[in-house]
Structures are given as structure tokens and as C-alpha cells.
Amino acid sequence: MKRVLLFLVLMLTGILFWSCDSSISTKDQDEQDIVIGKPELNLTSDIMTPEALWSFGRVSGQEVSPDGKTVLYGVTYYSIEQNKGNRELYSVEKNGENFKRLTHSPKSEFNAMWRPDGKKIGFLTSESGSVQLWEINPDGTDRTQISNIENGITGFKYALDQTRILYTKEVYIENKFEELYKDLPKATGRIYDDLMYRHWDHWVESYSHVFYADYDGAKVWNDKDILKGEPYQAPLKPFGGIEQVDWSADSKSIAYTCKKLTGKAATLSTNSDIYLYNLETGKTKNMTKGMMGFDVAPLFSPDGNYIAWESMEREGYESDQNRLFLMNLETGEKIYASKGFDQNGGSLLWSENSKSIYFTSDWHGTFQIYRSNVDGGTIDKLTEGMHDYRSVALAGDKLIASRNSMSMPTELYAVNISDGKAQQITFTNKDLLDQLTMGKVEERWIKTSDNKDMLTMIIYPPHFDPNKKYPALLYCKGGPQGPLSQNFHYRWNYQIMAANDYIIVAPNRRGVTGFGQEWTEQISGDYHGKSMDDYLVAIDEMAKEPFIDENRLGAIGASAGGYAVFYLAGNHDGRFKAFIAHDGIFNEEAQYLETEEIWFENWDKGGPFWDKNNKVARETYAHSPHKFVQNWDTPILVIHSELDYRVVFTQGMTAFNAAVLRDVPAEFLYFPDENHWVLQPQNGILWQRTFFNWLDKWLK
């Protein structure tokens, strides 16, 4: 249940500082000051294991030096024993030479960027007890704390003239019921009188605000809150980071993303806007007034003539097409730069001459790099291949891009702008990859029940023998919208599933992005219809293969994929012999009132269950998975987490209870300290062990 903002995807790839370090809390870091570095792992087998999966270094956050020669980036390594991770900074020249490790500390360094003069690298770390701005020389020497801001900061950017920085910080909400707490210092109750009191995995007790402060190369001071204490989030939580804020080319204005709504209105609407704050006048202007969907990630052109941003059209639809918009800052003209381009676009990057914008977009199961030509209004595709390019930075005639695939975690590549050819420049995981054998990844186009062409990804075991018969797993994608691409995931990893001698069948069913907006929208209000047919057509077609045992089929999935598993459990006509549902929706009526982003429920489910005159809503709730539990007869593993506030853990608990009461073999894996994902190393390994123990029990 993630919006199609390519963060959505960002959470998985670690492009945003908060996501790549999301399991590295300040509390965890303070418990043991032990540097976590690259693990030494000599495998006894060439087959992927959970321990090997958690040993990969996770590359993220490439930034190119102002002279275009050196690439700064971070790598996170995890310690299974310590149950935490640590992120360090590295640099390499854009030709792949002169690799250097710049930091070596027990505190993760993140949000790293070059100072505009190229003489320093700024970054955030919690070394002083709270997260502050620090700087080092480009060779890693002279580590110096620059800020000392109360309660710490969460992101920053230098002004181009280096006289100021902007930063983001949490501003705590005043308790309007404080009078009731007098003489009750041990009271733990919270009092609310409006909605959006919790979001994704936290209770809302603060706002993220944008500040700016004076900077002289040694310290920051004289800070100002440009939202002036307003009760709004900027950047937007939970996925928004420093990419949602930008300095103008003349360092006189700040553009920021904000949804200026609170309470019930905030939970019903996706309408965020781009605001422009003028430092000299102190005035704020809404640049996207009247544009009703998500408007995010403003980016000024180097010449100062334009501002670009990502825009969705429709209020309440978090998976609307992510469009590229520009504004001419002199005339105020808004330009729909990706008009006619039936794909999403994200990770925007201006060319040095301000005539082009580079971006990434998913199409037919891959993410590629594209270029939008400002003057001509045309869009060029720059790259090809079975991989995902997820973010780009400019280095002269090259783009420094993060790239991964189903068989390879993220590394950095230098991509020629002229012909799209790529050279790998980081080799973080080469030693480990050299010890592993990956399974073949194959594309198959399968006809759906309504005669549409559906791309289905097939992942084979590493040492596939066509003369054997293998059990197969139907992978039910979450979202429900979003890409099913080449991402190297650290939990739902196709290669580790295949390494356990399963053939993986992953259909790009209705709702998946990268096949045009019409295909994406066919799942809204119809979770139980075409998308379920697509799943069954894909697994039925593959079950005809002589190397697949049609009597040993399983179905697995998380979030909306968990919904699919629960639904299929009551509507599969004996096809499957085992199910696994993680964070899935079991009872649609309960979900409507348990979750916090009601805009999602209203758009994708058609509205509230009490609206009896709404045909779409009536159909949705009539096909809620719990309505078919009387048909359950197949073993099911249910996984859920306490801190998941998008799909509350009681959804999983009630599904498990129903299975047991019906005498269906079942297990319930419950995490009290995880959210919609599983982010801690030991929990991640427990997840994998439980996952395969269950499948092996019923399918082998």
C-alpha cells in the first residue's frame, strides 16, 4: 500500500537517508560504539542464504563533486550479532579509479553532500548525542561538528552562495489537553479529538518543518522556521526527505513540499503543493495552487529560469500518474513536460545548461533513464537492459546512476549521455557475488483471460535441471499499484526463494505500473476481479510446464499481496498446497476504519462500507477475504507486525485465529517491534527461516 512516487521505490533502494538507515536508530547506535564494516563471509555453498543476504553492502546516495570528477556515496553494512547496521562514506572517481573510504565510525553518516565549493563534504550523524551537521575534507580528514541545534536535525542543503544552509527538523506539537495532566507525571494516556493521530509506524507527536540558518564555513546560527509554527508537515512523512526542499539558483528563495491540511482533512486528501519562500521578504507563495494531487520534489534549474517538480493530477489518488511539470519563473507559465508520455517519472535532475531534465521511469518490468528536452517538448530513452536505474547525478558528459537487478544489489554506474552505455564504477559486493550462483531470470508474455498480454517474470533455481519437477511459488505483488521490476529486495528476494529450489512466478497483473495508466487503474475498486484472474492464469499456464509439479504450488505475498493470498485461500479451487500472507488485509470493513490514510480506502475501495448506494464499495466489501473463510482448507502462515499502522496487526491475528478455528494448519509470526517492513537483521533472518520452513513442510 505504497504510493507510486518513485520512493515508494526509494524506501527499497535507500536513496533517501531515512530509508537506507531506517533500522539504525540513534538509540541502537548509542548502545554499543562498535564500527560495523564489510563482513568476511566465506561461503560453504554457492546457494544464497539469509545470512549471505544480510551480508551485502547496501549502496546509496551518490553525489558528484562540483568539478564533476569524484563521486561521494554511502554503504550500509549490517551486523547480525549486534542486530544493527552502520553506514560509512566512500568516494571514487567517475572512471572507477581511486576508491577511498572516508569515514570509520560507529555512528552512521547520512545525507552526505558536497559543499558548493567542493572543499568540504557535509553530512549528518548522531556522534554528539543528537543528529547534527558535520564536515570533513574530501579525503576524510578534519572531521568537525558544524551545527548544535536543539533536538537535532533530519536533513540539510547548502545554499549555492554558501552563506546559509536550510535544514529540516521536528517541531513538537503543543498538547491542548495539558491541563488534564497536572499532577499525573506517570500518566501514559493520549487524548485526541481528530484524525491522523498516527501514521505508518509512529504516533504523530511532531511536525517536520523547514528552517534556514546563517553559515560561515565553521558553524550555523540565527535559524528561522519558514513555516512559522504552522501545524503542517514539510517534507511529507513518511517517505519525504530533503529531496522535497531546494534552494533557488540565487540563494534567495527556498522551495518546499507541504500538505497544508490537518486532522480529518489530511487523512482524506493527497493534495500537497510546492511553496516558494522568499528570504528577503519573508513571504510564501503557493506555486501549484489549484493542482489537487501530490505535487512534490521541487528542483530549480541551474540558470534560475525554471522550477521542475513531480505532479499527480487527482486528489485522493496516491497512485495517479507521476508527471513532470515545469514553471517558467519569469512568466509563471506551467508546462506539462511529460504530456503524452504514458509512464511515471521521478528522480529528476537538470542538465548543466538547463535545457534538459533527466529522470527514471519504469516500463515493462525495468527502470530506465530518460531525458526530457525543455525546448522541444520531447522525451528520449537513454538506456536499455534487464535492470533498474533508480537515481542519477550529473558528472559532465556522464550520469552517475545507481543500478540493481534481481540478481545483483545496487552498485554505481557511469552512463554515457550520448549513447547510454554504462561502466560499473563500484564493486561493493563483488567478493560475495563471486561466491554465489544466481538463477536465470526469464520474461514471459502470457495471455490473460480477457486476451491481454501480461509480462510475467520467471526465476529459476540456480542449478536448474529441466528433467526434474519443482514446486512453484506464485508471487502476489503488494502496492497494489507500483512496479514489479528488477529490484534486489532484502526480504522478498526472488533469488533466495529460487535458491531454495522453488520456481518463482511473478505476474505483472492489473495494477502494476510500467504498462500504461489504464493497466494500473484496472485494480482500483476491483481487487477481487481482473487481478485475481491474472494471478490464476499465470500460475495455471506455468503449471503446464514439465518441470513444474502442479501438485506442489504455493502463493505468497505482502500488503496488497497479502490480501491476494487471503482471497485466494478462499477462492483457489484446490490449486495451492500452501499460503503465506505478510501484513495482508483480511477484513476490508475493519481495514477502512483501522488505517490512517483514508484517501487510499476511498479511492481504491470505492468509499466507506456504510455507503450502500455505492456500487463499487458494495462490490469491494462483498468480496472481502474474510467473507470466504468458510472455504479455507489449505495450510497458511500469517506474518504481521505491531508497529504496522497502515494494515493493523489485528488483520493478521484475526486471519490466523480463523484458520485455527477452522482446523486449517496455521502459524502466526508476530513482530512486536517492526512496522510494515522487517528491518532488523535478526528479525529478517527469523522471517526467512520461518518462511522456508513453512514452504518446505507443505511443498516438499
CA distance 553 to 580: 12
Q: Output DSSP code: residue 676.
A: S
Q: Where are the beta strands (DSSP E) in 433-483?
A: 441-447, 453-459, 470-476
CB atoms within 10 A of CB 469: 15
Written in H, E and C, the secondary structure of 137-191 is: CCCCCCCEECCCCCCCCCEEEECCCCCEEEEEEEEECCCCCHHHHCCCCCCCCCC
- Determine which one of 559, 572, 623, 640 is catalytic: 559
Q: Which residue, among 479, 477, 476, has the nearest Cα to 600 in the 3D structure?
A: 479
Per DSSP, the residues of 423-444 read EE---TTHHHHTT--PPPEEEE
**Long-range contact pairs involving 286-289 (C-beta distance under 8 Å, separation at least 24):** 287/255, 287/327
C-alpha cell recorded at residue 666 = 496455521
559 is catalytic: yes
Give the distance, in angstroms, between the CA of residue 313 and the centroid of all CA atoms in the same chain: 21
Q: Bridge-partner residues for 203, per DSSP?
A: 198
- Determine which one of 246, 273, 583, 644 is catalytic: 644
CA distance 628 to 626: 5
Residue at 506: amino acid letter: A
463 is catalytic: no
Helices H, strands E: what count in the chain? 15, 38
- Determine which one of 387, 623, 626, 676 is catalytic: 676
CA-based diameter of the chain, in Å?
Answer: 75
> Strand 58-64 to strand 323-328: parallel, antiparallel, or no bridges (unpaired)?
unpaired
Annotated catalytic sites, by residue? 559, 644, 676
